[in-house]
Structure 1
Amino acid sequence: MGRIVQKFGGTSVGTVEKIKNAADRVLEEVNQGNEVVVVVSAMGKTTDHLVDMAREISPYPNKREMDMLLTTGEQITISLLSMELNERGHNTVSLTGWQAGIQTEGVFGNARITDIETDKIDKLLSSGNIVVVAGFQGVSGGEITTLGRGGSDTTAVALAAALHADKCDIYTDVTGVYTTDPRYVNSARKLKSVSYDEMLELANLGAGVLHPRAVEFAKNYKMPLEVRSSTEKENGTIIEEEISMEQNLVVRGIAFEDNITRISVFGLPLTGGGISSIFTALADSHINVDIIIQSVTGENETNLSFSVKTEDVKETLEVLEANRDKIRFARIETESDLAKVSIVGSGMVSNPGVAAQMFEVLSSNSISIKMVSTSEIKVSTVVSHSHMLKAVNALHDAFDLSDALAIKNN
């Protein structure tokens, strides 16, 4: 007997019929003698609908009340799935995040899991129950919190680690992890496996198939993950520590995301802590900064540019203005309608010239690069939003990711 954690995303439980299909997948594991914990997201576009209603009342709703509102979405799903499994003759108990013992830090809207008390779930499993847990949510000091969009992935992997599960299966509307998003690149192909580090980069860079925090948990606890289709009965993509290089494929994936804004801060003093004050203030406000570029313009002056998600621009500007006396900048400019396009691959470590090839491909396609960031296994560029998909398709072809022989399909 094994212990399995299964996670079903919103599209996989978007209707009652799809919930019945998810129940089929759950019972496949139960019938093999496994203990099963199921983590579910809100049905379909439920969360978006709740957000829209809140914004009809206020353009900037209170974050505590938003968490109270949004957590109702997952509660609908856990109840319906539990009812379906009960109707099929299986003892099933649904639990909210806080009933499941998921403790978080006290940050509304984007909390991190700090601990999971597993006694309740362990007892329920030992008594022969299937346990269905609401993803995306926890509790901090008696207050309901949410983990940010995509947080159900994190719930599933964190529970799998805490419960010492044998594996964690992420069921979604695609059959695995692809070289890039197959909705926008017809020649994208499924990868048989991908390393934790590669998947973490892809997730952080916009690949929506897994939440970055979920991959971090999996890497830290060496939890085997498989991204699988909730409708197609075929093997998915394994995320694990060590993988075999597939036909010497240096770049294994291309990630992209839009709604990027560049913020440029001009006239910063080189001394006095102005630059550190910027990032300290933004961190204190839980604003994530991505690509950072500094250019020294004079003996005692420098300019700084960094990228943020467009949804964070208003708050970012407010934070900078509130700290103007400490930062001592001359002016701020913003540029929106940008996108980030990134190449990822562990083979880049031992293959110099990959970045140069990327820049050459973009240049030959008349795509201007506005910002660049690199690490050992990725190169990210910021380009105009209008050029995003053109860049993705050109790079996908240039690095042979469309080659049927390059990817080992199952």
Structure 2
Amino acid sequence: MRVVAKFGGTSLGSGDRIERAADTVAKAVTEGHEIAVVVSAMGSTTDDLLDEITFSAEDSDRAEIVSMGERISVRMLKAALSARGVDAKFVEPGSEDWPIITDEYGEVDVESTMARADQLASELDDVVPVITGFLAQTIDGKVTTLGRGGSDTTAVMLGKFMDADEVVIVTDVEGVMTGDPRVVEGARNVARITVDELRNLSFRGAEVVAPSALSYKDQDLTVRVVHYQHGDLLAGGTLIEGEFENLIDMQEERLACLTVAGRALRNRPGILAELAQALRGADINIDAVASGMDSVTFYVNEDVAEEAEFVLHEKVIDDDTLSSVTVEDEFAIIRVTGGELPNRPGIILDIVQPISEAGINIHDIITSATSVAIIVAWDDREETLEIVQDQEF
């Protein structure tokens, strides 16, 4: 099996942890696997170096300075592997076989990187490359970086371009957890999670795998997250499944819009849950929800709108802080889903402006971490879909 293993800063945070990482890699090599290793800077080295740049520095100088953390890590781990009889070499920007090439702004040159990664992969029978994460270089040799979470990006990118069977992210948590174990008592490991689920969690603060890395994961590449104390690269942890695809989708059923108004709803803990629970009790599915200062709007299939109105009206009658419920029908919803949406400043404008210029009124727009839902009149749905499909996401 061909594996790209990425060791994060915490998993290399001390001499003992570097020894443990070397033992883990050596075990996999002894079992006959082809291993490439990507490493982050030890502990908080990169942050510490950034904190010390109190002067005005050009981007090229800054990149060279922060690269020192990863450069130390590859030398330490390479030496530890050599001490275990593993034929290893460190690979860093400036090396003859350095794989990741970008332009001066850090955009990956895919063609050059694929060719170099393929060449590096051809040597895995003979040597374990220990590669600096986070870093890249231009074609003329200037050091650049891949941004926050860049070591994860390095690992998954190389896993894809080196035709690896699996990428293993070695970190300080036992895979993806049901909640933050530092906050939630009883948090446990999730054995499997989809790319879509994890990207949404990542963009909302879950620090497991960098969102930018997951854009390189395809259906054929397994990605696993394991704890650095686990000792086995090929078992345990959380398996990340599937691939993230850009998708533009239009729901075929007509929707109705039910709006419940009330005084200071935003100050009513649990009111959204109460209204949603009432609809659930009537077996009515909620397709989308939008909230304002003094109202909550539910979108449901038009054929259950009358029943939904009755259910919500009962809640209005029973609650003095609720004023009324209104219903509109004949709406359509078009969803844009894409892994890179959160990294695109102005993406909402890019979506809605051409719709506006076509004279189509947007009734509502609802966003999540990686998707945008546009709600328009039913009769405008086909034109809206065509406009959105013409955009590049």
Give the TM-score taking structure 1 as reference length.
0.57
Deviation digits for residues 43-73 of structure 1 (CA, Å, limit 9, x no counterpart): 0010011101112x24xx3222111111111
Question: Secondary structure of the equivalent of 2:53?
Answer: helix
Report if the CA contact (8 A) 1:136-1:150 is conserved.
Answer: yes
**SS of residue matched to 1:93:** strand
Deviations 1:238-264 (A, max 9, x none): 00129xxxxxxxxxxxxxxxxxxxxxx
Letter in 2 for 1:198: E
Shift of 1:120: 4.2
- Superposed displacement of residue 9, structure 1: 0.2
Q: Is the Cα–Cα contact under 8 Å of residues 67 and 145 in structure 1 kept in the other structure?
A: yes
Note the C-alpha offset of 1:42.
Answer: 0.2
Partner of 2:236: 235
Quick one: percent identity of the two aligned structures?
37
- Does 1:101 find its partner at 2:35? no
Q: 1:377 to 1:118 in 2, by over 3 A?
A: closer
SS of the aligned residue for 2:36 comes to strand
Give 1:213 shift.
1.5
Q: Does 1:25 align with 2:24?
A: yes
Structure 1: which 5+ residue stretches go unaligned? 243-349, 361-371, 380-410
Aligned to 1:154: 153
Q: CA offset at residue 98 of structure 1?
A: 5.2
CA contact (8 A) 1:136 1:148 kept: yes
Residue type matched to 2:367 in 1? T
SS in 1 for 2:157: helix
Q: SS state of the match for residue 20, structure 1? A: helix
Larger displacement relative to structure 2 (24-33 or 97-106): 97-106
- Which letter does structure 2 place at the counterpart of 1:184? V
Say which SS state the counterpart of residue 177 (structure 1) adopts.
coil
Q: Determine if the alignment matches structure 1 residue 118 to structure 2 residue 117.
A: yes
Q: 1:10 to 1:376 in 2, by over 3 A?
A: closer
- Deviation digits for residues 344-389 of structure 1, max 9, x if unmatched? xxxxxx95268579x99xxxxxxxxxxx95349879xxxxxxxxxx
TM-score for the superposition, normalised by structure 2 = 0.59
Say whether 1:82 aligns with 2:78.
yes
- The Cα of 1:31 is off from its aligned counterpart by 1.5
From the superposition, tell whether residues 241 and 87 of structure 1 become closer, same or farther in structure 2 (CA, over 3 Å). Answer: same
Distance 2:108 2:179 in 1: 28
Secondary structure of the equivalent of 2:124?
helix
Please say if residues 169 and 226 of structure 2, whose CA atoms lie closer than 8 Å, have aligned partners that are also in contact.
Answer: yes
The AA in structure 1 aligned to 2:209 is L
**Higher Cα Rg: structure 1 or 2?**
2
Please list the CA deviations of residues 271-323 of structure 1 after superposition, one character each: whole Å capped at 9, or x if unmatched: xxxxxxxxxxxxxxxxxxxxxxxxxxxxxxxxxxxxxxxxxxxxxxxxxxxxx
Contact kept, 8 Å, 2:134 with 2:145, in 1: the verdict is yes
Q: Which runs of 4+ in 1 moved over 6 A?
A: 376-379
- RMSD of aligned Cα (Å): 2.9
SS in 2 for 1:21: helix
Is the contact made by 2:9 and 2:43 (CA closer than 8 Å) also made in structure 1?
Answer: yes
**Are residues 1:138 and 2:131 paired?**
no
In the other structure, the counterpart of 2:286 is: 352
Residue aligned with 1:218, SS: coil
Q: Which residue of 2 aligns with 1:38?
A: 37
